[in-house]
Amino acid sequence: MKVAAMFYDSPYGDAYRWLIDYGIEKADTFMLSRSLHSELLEEGENVLTQLEPFLIRKYGITQEELESRYKEITEEDMFPKEDKKKNEAARHKGIEYRSGTYYVYRCSKEAADILKNAAEHWFEWEHPHLPADLWFLDKDGNDFIHNIAHESMGGIHVDVEEAERINETVPGMFIMRRGHKNNFESFWQDALFHKPRKLELYGFGIEAIPESIGQLKELRELSIHESNVTMLPEALSELNQLEELTVYTADLKEIPAWVGNLTQLKHLRIACGSYHGATDYIIPREEVALTQVPPEIGRLKQLESLSINYTGITDLPEELAQLEKLRYLDLSRNRLREEPSILKRLPVLQNVCLSGNEYNHADHS
């Protein structure tokens, strides 16, 4: 029986090119779409031009047609009639979820080369830079490899054994497994094998981030939502491609000085008093161990947004003024004793939130 094996992260590089070849070999056709509401950029138009020799047909779907389809399916669910009608409603292709123009192409090696040269990863197929949602269909017109790029959702429709084979043998084809949620070791070994660009550690109940995280050199986004984690491993400082770091935990002991090594970081979010499940106890802010922002934070020259919440921080280092690209700053629910004068020296700062600190506690909501 076939299942929709979902991608944990967008296959990129060699994995992306492997996926294109796999789709071309196993599928019957592939599809692309373009929006009716915005223009496709030149690079996207060029792709459509290159693919013209392989075009089988193109057609449009209006908003009215979409609404009629949804109504048809909903009414059939509520008031079942003959099976035939419901089967016809269900036959609409998954890619047809919005109004626009749709293109159906035959699979060929030459078409594969165009697709591989046009993008570097699976979720890159997003309007307006490229035609949207590269999608493969089998000989019966059913979804084979699907892609909703703007929501970073995609997967492959194969049997369980094939999904396992792909996950275990093709680096970068990181497929979600049922056992991941309750087995951190299994999840972590898969992460080390596939080296994703985006990683979320949420609710595993772990007390420490493995030092082996330093092996994930391609990481761009890292989110840690683990109540029991109190320290960040120094191996994180080796992730020099990291652009976004989120740390939500109950009681973080410190923001380590090596955070200044993450020079590509654009977004940094840290919050204590955070729990990944139901709890009868929330640590009082006065007891949170985190009380200082290291001066090394001033080395994060690419930082655009900074959020530090629910900590014991009482003041800010002068080096914060070196964040020349900082546009958004959220220091709510800390223990600042006065409004930081340093804010006036941040040249492009646009949005600031300081509610719930000691000097303005009455404003806390």
C-alpha 6 chain-centroid distance:
13
Cα three-residue angle 294-300-303, rounded to 5 degrees: 115
- Over 50: is that where the pLDDT of 365 sits? no
Span 87-111, pLDDT tens digits: 444 457 889 999 999 999 999 999 9
- Tell the residue number behind the tokens 């009082």, with chain if given: 284
- Tell the residue number behind the tokens 């990683």, with chain if given: 199
Task: Look at residue 37 in the predicted model and tell me its pLDDT.
Answer: 82
| Residue 241: closest CA among 259, 264, 261, 223 | 264
Stronger pLDDT, 76 or 215, i.e. the higher one:
215
| Residue 112: its H or E element | helix 109-118
Cis ω on the peptide bond leading into residue 80 (within 30° of 0)? no
- Over 70: is that where the pLDDT of 364 sits? no
- Tell the residue number behind the tokens 């307006």, with chain if given: 128
Percentage of residues in the chain having pLDDT higher than 90: 84
What do you get for the CA distance between the two ends of the chain, in Å?
52
Provide the pLDDT confidence category of residue 25 given band limits of 50, 70 and 90: very high
- Over 50: is that where the pLDDT of 6 sits? yes
The per-residue DSSP string of 4-37 comes to: EEEBSS--BTHHHHHHHHHHHHH-SEEEEEEESS
pLDDT, the chain, mean: 93
Provide the pLDDT confidence category of residue 84 given band limits of 50, 70 and 90: very low
Domains of the chain listed by start with CATH number: 2-169 (no CATH), 197-363 (3.80.10.10)
d(CA 88, CA 92): 7
pTM of the model: 0.89
Mapped onto helix, strand or coil, the DSSP state of residue 140 is: coil
d(CA 163, CA 143): 15
d(CA 249, CA 130): 38
- Over 70: is that where the pLDDT of 45 sits? yes
